[in-house]
Chain A
Amino acid sequence: MSNTNARFHVPTAPFRPGETPDFSNLDLQKAGDAPRPDPGIDAGETASLATGLVGVLDHNHQAVGEWDPKLKADLLREGLSHMVLTRIYDERMLKLQRQGKMSFYMKSTGEEAVAVAAAMALDKSDMVFPSYRQQGILFARGRNIVDMMCHCISNSRDNLKGRQLPVHYTWAEGNFFTISGNLGTQFPQAVGYAMACAYKGEDQVAASWIGDGTTAEGDFHSALTLASTYRAPVILNVVNNQWAISTYQGIAKGDAPTFAAKGLGYGLASLRVDGNDFLAVYAATRWARERATAGKGATLIELFTYRAAAHSTSDDPSKYRPKNEETAWPLGDPIERLKQHLIGIGEWDEDRHEKLEEEMTKLVVKSYKDAESYGTLHDGPLAPTESIFEDVTETPDWRLRRQRQELGI
């Protein structure tokens, strides 16, 4: 029987388990080739940037082209340090999850620059609306690691009182919005927040992150529409790490040239950026922030990167993609690239790097010991049981008071 559904197209990932990944036909603009226009330009003039690739670090790890933010070595070392800490923290937390110390974990391996560089390019008063894979922001903003761990093991010091799954951080003091498990909801919320900043006449901006898969949600469309209509001072980041659990990015992107290109149709300035290039992410975020505070509106930034680790501790990527596909990824590793850049300009060396890693490992190990002293999910102590009835509304009503009694507390 002939295939009667020949015209029904279902995209499929280019490489599957057992195959050899080969990204040589990915048409990526070379670092330094994208021009850096004035941040105040009309959105339509960003078309070539939305389909190209903003990059600063070339294959020799040299900073090239107009987007080079020309950052001081101290700041680059700080960025490197936050990224290294993020990776070491992730690896440690994965191990602890495997040992049964926490119920769940999600790494951000390979995507550290997307969070750290952007956070460093923002003002600390800017509100961030992250997804569950931008833990690097917390390190860049100086959150106490013990507090982060206490959240992940839901102990008595968890600032969320054990109410949320691990990695669903909230940190109001650091202007880090409460993470939700529902994908994409934060994207239009960030626009609303940014509108409120504009309403109040404040110079703050909001920034949000979603993944490539989440762009298929209606809230992606809602956010872009609102951002465009009200010219909101918001930075809308799409982290294209190529995978939404087992689903390759082409399922969400369809035949659009890039995710960034989707912003053009809304009249938003749109950039595609090398997400593994610390300098490029930093520069693009600065550009978008400048545009936002100048009253020119939002920018959609696609961060082109690769999810090097499993989706979560509940996922096994070997079932849907080749093993070691991340090593074939043409944009390399963000930590290695920044490290080599710093070495190249004489501001870093292997010994110092090794020391940094040792220091960070010690910090993480010690922090976990501290965290455990406040209890663990399995052995307690946890937040008081009666606290499950608090914060539903400002004041518990009679129903919750009765239910608490019913539970006998």
Chain B
Amino acid sequence: MNMIQALNSAMDILLTQNPDVVMFGEDSGYFGGVFNATDKLQAKHGAHRVFDTPINEAAIAAMAIGMAAKGLKPVAEIQFSDYIFPAFDQIVSEMSRIRYRSAGQFTSGCVLRSPWGGGIRGGQTHSMSPEAFFTHIPGVKVAIPSNPYDAKGMLIAAAEGNDPVIFFEPKRIYNGPFDGVPDAPLKSWAKHPKGEVPEGHYRVELGKAEVTREGSACTVVTYGTLVHVAEHAAEKSGIDAEIIDLKSLSPYDIDTIAASVNKTGRAIVAHEAPRTSGFGAELAAQIQEDCFYALEAPVLRLTGWDTPYPHAHEWAYFPIQSRFIRAMEAVTKAV
């Protein structure tokens, strides 16, 4: 399966197994979503379970909160993560705090899925990686899968949990992994081991990272599309980097990160989002705190620039393979 098929399969299973699951979003119903993630789900499960919404992200989030208060399990879609900001108040002030402010009398367990990240010539409003806005909110979980197997298992785990989850989907790798070379031919998931996806129900628990490539020279902590870029950079450069796919950003798996950095002594944190106050800053600070005596070089941040996401110069902005190699060289040579 590709990632879209895996997500579709997850949603089909959720709808089949739990009558309280409902799905909605802009173009998510009859049309099946602009990326086909909800393809055929309305026809199979009914328009009262998978339906179209008005173009109003705040309303989508608020609807999810109200439905969750009544015991439904909404799995809603925000068409692009760039357009999640109209829902920001409902997420920050409401969804994230309902359990806390009501001392557990009400909960708001729901999932907001949203296509995320760059690498698709999306320009400023179809390329953003707004995860750091959300990891700064106590009370919401943030998850970003990097492959079809995880996408399905994590979406099921997110929807079966009792906390609100912001579930970002790297749209650059919906149809195949990306090795970080802009003009390289497209690959499919068919030949990737994580493209093998069981048909049935399974969960990939949130909060756990995975070492996707073992190495000894340095640790690269990343998530989403860049997991693949980092892996290819390690192979191409011959630098024996250990790659950690974080998968969950809030909460994140400090144990896996610390074990790796304590072993390698060197760390790169990498994301597409801008550097300043990006999630990499949190990772770098925590690595410094937990692994200070093991570190042999400063923690290096490999990120998008502190600019809006550009259209024409996308590949000067995006942390492509060559930038990963340079960063790996820099962090391993640093004394």
Interface residues of A (CB under 8 A from B): 127, 129, 159-161, 163-164, 168, 170-172, 177-178, 180-182, 185, 187-197, 199-200, 206, 218-219, 221-223, 225-226, 229, 390-394, 397-399
Q: Point out the residue from A127, A161, A164, A390 that lies within 8 Å of B69, measured CB to CB.
A: A127
Most chain B CB neighbours (cut-off 10 Å) among A127, A168, A171, A219 = A219
Give the chain B neighbours of A229 by CB distance below 8 A.
53-54
Give the chain A neighbours of B90 by CB distance below 8 A.
185, 188-189, 219
CB pair B101–A163 under 8 Å, yes or no, is: yes
Q: How far, in angstroms, from A83 to B139 measured CA to CA in the complex?
A: 37
CB pair A196–B67 under 8 Å, yes or no, is: yes
Q: A172-B105, A393-B139, A394-B99 are in contact. Are A192 and B22 (CB under 8 A)?
A: no
Cβ of B11 to closest chain A Cβ, rounded Å: 17
CB pair B94–A192 under 8 Å, yes or no, is: no
Task: Say if the beta carbon of B59 comes within 8 Å of chain A.
Answer: yes
Q: Can you add 20 more A-B contacts, CB < 8 Å, to A196-B72, A199-B48, A225-B54? A: A163-B101, A164-B101, A177-B69, A185-B93, A187-B62, A189-B62, A192-B63, A192-B66, A193-B69, A193-B70, A196-B71, A199-B67, A218-B86, A222-B59, A226-B59, A226-B62, A226-B63, A390-B104, A392-B100, A393-B99
Listed by A's residue number, 28 A-B pairs whose Cβ atoms lie within 8 Å are A172-B102, A172-B105, A178-B101, A178-B102, A181-B93, A185-B89, A188-B63, A195-B66, A196-B66, A196-B67, A196-B69, A196-B70, A199-B22, A206-B66, A218-B58, A219-B62, A221-B56, A222-B58, A225-B56, A225-B59, A226-B56, A226-B59, A392-B138, A392-B139, A393-B163, A394-B107, A398-B251, A398-B254
Give the chain A neighbours of B101 by CB distance below 8 A.
160, 163-164, 168, 170, 178, 180
Q: How far, in angstroms, from A407 to B152 measured CA to CA in the complex?
A: 39
Give the chain A neighbours of B105 by CB distance below 8 A.
159, 170-172, 178
Q: How far, in angstroms, from A196 to B161 measured CA to CA in the complex?
A: 19
Q: A160-B102, A170-B101, A185-B89 are in contact. Are A394 and B163 (CB under 8 A)?
A: yes
Task: Say if the beta carbon of B98 comes within 8 Å of chain A.
Answer: yes
Cβ of B52 to closest chain A Cβ, rounded Å: 9
Q: How large is the interface on B (under 10, 10 to 19, 20 to 34, 35 or more residues)?
A: 35 or more
Give the chain B neighbours of A200 by CB distance below 8 A.
70-72
Q: How far, in angstroms, from A161 to B62 measured CA to CA in the complex?
A: 25
Q: How far, in angstroms, from A406 to B9 measured CA to CA in the complex?
A: 43
CB pair B58–A194 under 8 Å, yes or no, is: no
Give the chain B neighbours of A197 by CB distance below 8 A.
70
Give the chain B neighbours of A159 by CB distance below 8 A.
103, 105
CB pair B63–A178 under 8 Å, yes or no, is: no
CB pair B66–A391 under 8 Å, yes or no, is: no
Interface residues of B (CB under 8 A from A): 22, 48, 53-54, 56, 58-59, 62-67, 69-72, 86, 89-90, 93-94, 97-107, 138-139, 141, 161-163, 207, 251, 254-255
Most chain A CB neighbours (cut-off 10 Å) among B103, B138, B207 = B103
Cβ of A51 to closest chain B Cβ, rounded Å: 26
Closest to B90 in A: A185
Q: How far, in angstroms, from A189 to B58 measured CA to CA in the complex?
A: 10
- What 3 A-B pairs are tightest by C-beta distance, nearest first? A192-B66, A188-B62, A196-B70
Cβ of A124 to closest chain B Cβ, rounded Å: 16
CB pair B67–A192 under 8 Å, yes or no, is: yes
Give the chain A neighbours of B100 by CB distance below 8 A.
163, 391-392
CB pair B58–A178 under 8 Å, yes or no, is: no
Q: A195-B63, A391-B100 are in contact. Are A397 and B71 (CB under 8 A)?
A: no
Give the chain A neighbours of B65 by CB distance below 8 A.
189, 192
Give the chain A neighbours of B99 by CB distance below 8 A.
391-394
Q: How far, in angstroms, from A357 to B156 measured CA to CA in the complex?
A: 57
CB pair A191–B66 under 8 Å, yes or no, is: yes
Cβ of B243 to closest chain A Cβ, rounded Å: 22
Q: How far, in angstroms, from A189 to B69 measured CA to CA in the complex?
A: 9
CB pair A178–B62 under 8 Å, yes or no, is: no
CB pair A163–B103 under 8 Å, yes or no, is: yes
Cβ of B28 to closest chain A Cβ, rounded Å: 14
Closest to A171 in B: B105
Q: How far, in angstroms, from A320 to B162 measured CA to CA in the complex?
A: 47
Give the chain A neighbours of B94 by CB distance below 8 A.
180, 182, 185, 189
Cβ of B226 to closest chain A Cβ, rounded Å: 23
Closest to B98 in A: A178
CB pair B66–A188 under 8 Å, yes or no, is: yes
Closest to A192 in B: B66
Q: How far, in angstroms, from A199 to B20 measured CA to CA in the complex?
A: 9
Closest to B107 in A: A394
Q: How far, in angstroms, from A226 to B57 measured CA to CA in the complex?
A: 11
Give the chain B neighbours of A188 by CB distance below 8 A.
58-59, 62-63, 66, 90
Give the chain A neighbours of B56 by CB distance below 8 A.
221-222, 225-226
Q: How far, in angstroms, from A172 to B71 measured CA to CA in the complex?
A: 13
Q: How far, in angstroms, from A180 to B141 measured CA to CA in the complex?
A: 21
CB pair A127–B59 under 8 Å, yes or no, is: no
Closest to B71 in A: A196
Give the chain A neighbours of B59 by CB distance below 8 A.
188, 222-223, 225-226
Give the chain B neighbours of A218 by CB distance below 8 A.
58, 86
CB pair A391–B104 under 8 Å, yes or no, is: yes
Closest to B74 in A: A192
Cβ of B151 to closest chain A Cβ, rounded Å: 22
CB pair B251–A397 under 8 Å, yes or no, is: yes
Give the chain B neighbours of A391 by CB distance below 8 A.
99-100, 103-104
Give the chain B neighbours of A226 by CB distance below 8 A.
54, 56, 59, 62-63
Q: How far, in angstroms, from A399 to B286 measured CA to CA in the complex?
A: 11
Q: How far, in angstroms, from A164 to B89 measured CA to CA in the complex?
A: 18
Cβ of B38 to closest chain A Cβ, rounded Å: 18
